[in-house]
Each structure stands twice: as C-alpha cells, then as structure tokens.
Amino acid sequence: MDVKILRTDGQNIDFIKLIKLLDNDLNGRYGELQKQYDKHNKVDNIKDVVIIYKDNVAAACGAYKEYDINTVELKRVFVIKENRRQGISKIVVKELEKLAAENGYKYVLLETGIKQHEAINLYKNAGYAIIQNYEPYIGNINSVCMKKTLD
C-alpha cells in the first residue's frame, strides 16, 4: 500500500471534499439528529489537518482544534468507504496525536456518535477511555466522549 501523509489546514481542497463525504455519511446514519452537531463541526479556523493519500488519491482525513491550553479535540476523522478496514484510520489518529504532542499538548479529547461502533472501537484500541461528556456535549445521550493522555 503506497500511503503518503500530508499535514495541512482546514482550507485544503481535498480536506473539504472528504468532510463533505463525512457529512453525507453522518446524515445517512443520524438523519435530522445530525443537524444539532453541525455547529460543532465547522472547519473555518482549523489549523491542524492530516490527509492520507493512498496511491495519490485522498483516502482519509482528520483534524484537531485546541480545547484548552493542554488539550486538543479530534475533529472530522474520516476514511472513504473503499479504503476502510485497511488500518488507515489508525494512521490518521497516530499522526494527529504526534502533531499535537509536537505542539506541546498533553491530552486529546474527542466526541463520536453512539451509532459509530467502528469509531468507538478504533479509539478504544488506540488507548482512549470513555469519559463523562464534556462541553458542548453534556447531557447529549447520542454522544460518546473519550480522552487520552499523550506520551
């Protein structure tokens, strides 16, 4: 598998294309319920993005944004359907964690949906623990929040 990792920002055209596919996927899973999350998924000010190219085609992405001085929040992690179950999501998460650590962060938070079992398993296998929902997801029964301490 010929894989290339690109570090970029939220303005990258391949990132924008991938997150449109992600939004379509989420709307298919959650329908109207997904609309409540749209405001939390804006990427205008995202500075830290990772795109994975497989055979020179954008296959996966992920990003993070600062949550507080010590913590980042993973956002918009996605692998296109035909590239799933190949370990590419692990590469995205590891690269985002590496980038966060290089930038001095100690912790990573994330929120995913209760219907995204593959995402929950990915994060558990990567060392994330389920935590109490953090702002802005407190009280939202459709959200699963997780946290990891970076090495």
Residues 73-97 pLDDT 10s = 999 898 998 888 899 999 999 999 9
Q: How many whole angstroms separate alpha carbon 19 and alpha carbon 90?
A: 18
Instruction: With a cut of 60, say whether residue 122 has pLDDT above it.
Output: yes
Q: How many whole angstroms separate alpha carbon 105 and alpha carbon 64?
A: 11
Split at pLDDT 50, 70, 90, the class of 52 is very high
What does the pLDDT average to over 1-7?
Answer: 88
Average pLDDT over the chain, rounded to an integer = 88
Tens digit of each residue's pLDDT (9 = 90 or more) over 30-46? 666 556 555 555 556 78
**Better-predicted residue by pLDDT, 21 or 25:** 21
Domain of 36, in residue numbers: 3-149
Domain harbouring 27, CATH code: 3.40.630.30
Q: How many whole angstroms separate alpha carbon 79 and alpha carbon 23?
A: 12
Q: How many domains does one find in the chain? A: 1
Give me the pLDDT at residue 59, please.
95
Segment among 14-18, 66-70, 84-88, 107-111 with least mean pLDDT: 84-88
Tens digit of each residue's pLDDT (9 = 90 or more) over 124-141? 999 999 999 998 889 888
Q: Are strands 129-131 and 143-149 parallel, antiparallel or unpaired?
A: antiparallel
**Helix 88-102 vs helix 117-125: crossing angle, to nearest 10:** 50
